[in-house]
Amino acid sequence: MAPSTPTPPTPPVPVDAKRESFEREALVHLDALYRVALRLTNNAADADDLVQETMLKAYRAWDQYEKGTNAKGWLLTILRHAFINEYRRRTRHPENVNLDTIEPFAVFGEIQDEDPQGAFFDKIVDDEVLKAIDQLPETFRETLVLSDVEGMSYQEIAKILEIPVGTVKSRLFRARQALQGKLYDYAVSNGYIKGTPA
Amino acid sequence: MNCRECVDHLYEFLDREVTPDLERDIRQHLVECPPCGEQFDFEAIYLKFLRARCRTQGAPEELKRRVLRELFGE
């Protein structure tokens, strides 16, 4: 140690360190945020605004985020809160649906003789699937989107939606069955399969 | 395990969200019960189809530019 050497000034934190970590951990999820926003709002312009707002909020709160944990889950939580607090209040009301009365429609039972391998699915294009998802009640839709579109685990979904894991399971089960019923009806009405529409 | 119990865990099993014990019981039932096996195969095809159809869409380029502009003034 050389006491005569003046301590060099602490190097300033690079101005772009925050930006660099935000780009690496948060901005990479822009596509995922947009897909979820689009399904929640059902509208491209609102989805743009919701994503923009989410990113601004996330950047302001970036110091609160524990780096290297689950940025996607953290961002989706911010996005969902922004949606509930601002968009849903302004644009429409949550559906007043009694989710218990939505009976799962057992497609497999209808189709096991005609198309047990589900070949009819291949004929249904992206837009039709997304349209069918958009018709689901919001509670089902958000659960299904986080799972099937974004590949989140039950635990991650439970955290984002602030519900127990058991509720994630039951909502996901019924959401997938309800969606399958819609796709089946679509396939029947387009003549992809004979079937009998529900 | 009976068919009803097996189907109750259908999606948890396909999502790999079951415990090892439950997974073993389900697998055993699926071997012993071809109708349940067919149903699980059908649902696995359905989930694969859903993922393939829904994950292609990304954020528009204009939105990406807008976010960068807002955040970093670019």
pLDDT at residue A7 greater than cutoff 60: yes
pLDDT at residue A85 greater than cutoff 80: yes
Of B55, B66, B72, the CB nearest to A52: B66
The pLDDT of residue B59: 93
Q: Which two tokens stand for residue A115?
A: 């198309």
The pLDDT of residue A29: 95
The pLDDT of residue A125: 87
Span A144-171, mean pLDDT?
95
CB of B39 within 8 Å of a chain A CB? The answer is yes
Is B49–A121 a contact, with Cβ atoms under 8 angstroms apart?
yes
The pLDDT of residue A195: 78
Q: Using pLDDT thresholds of 50, 70 and 90, give the confidence band for residue A15.
A: low
CB of B9 within 8 Å of a chain A CB? The answer is no
CB of B69 within 8 Å of a chain A CB? The answer is no
Is B67–A52 a contact, with Cβ atoms under 8 angstroms apart?
yes
The pLDDT of residue A30: 96
Of A44, A55, A176, the CB nearest to B71: A55
Asked whether the beta carbons of A40 and A83 are under 8 A apart, the reply is yes
CB of B3 within 8 Å of a chain A CB? The answer is no
Span A55-71, mean pLDDT?
92
Asked whether the beta carbons of A158 and A168 are under 8 A apart, the reply is yes
Give Cα A103 to chain centroid, integer Å: 23
Which CB contacts under 8 angstroms, 24+ apart, belong to B62-69?
Answer: B63/A30, B63/A34, B63/A48, B63/A51, B63/A52, B64/A30, B66/A48, B66/A52, B67/A27, B67/A30, B67/A51, B67/A52, B67/A55
First to last CA, chain A: 83
Span A38-59, mean pLDDT?
94
pLDDT in tens, A184-198: 999 999 999 887 755
Q: Using pLDDT thresholds of 50, 70 and 90, give the confidence band for residue A94.
A: low
Q: Among the ranges A27-31, A90-94, B3-7, which has the highest mean pLDDT value?
A: A27-31
Q: Using pLDDT thresholds of 50, 70 and 90, give the confidence band for residue A67.
A: confident
pLDDT at residue A96 greater than cutoff 60: no
Span A161-169, mean pLDDT?
95
From the list A189, A96, A86, A79, the residue with the least C-alpha distance to A145 is: A79
Q: Using pLDDT thresholds of 50, 70 and 90, give the confidence band for residue B41.
A: very high
The pLDDT of residue A2: 52
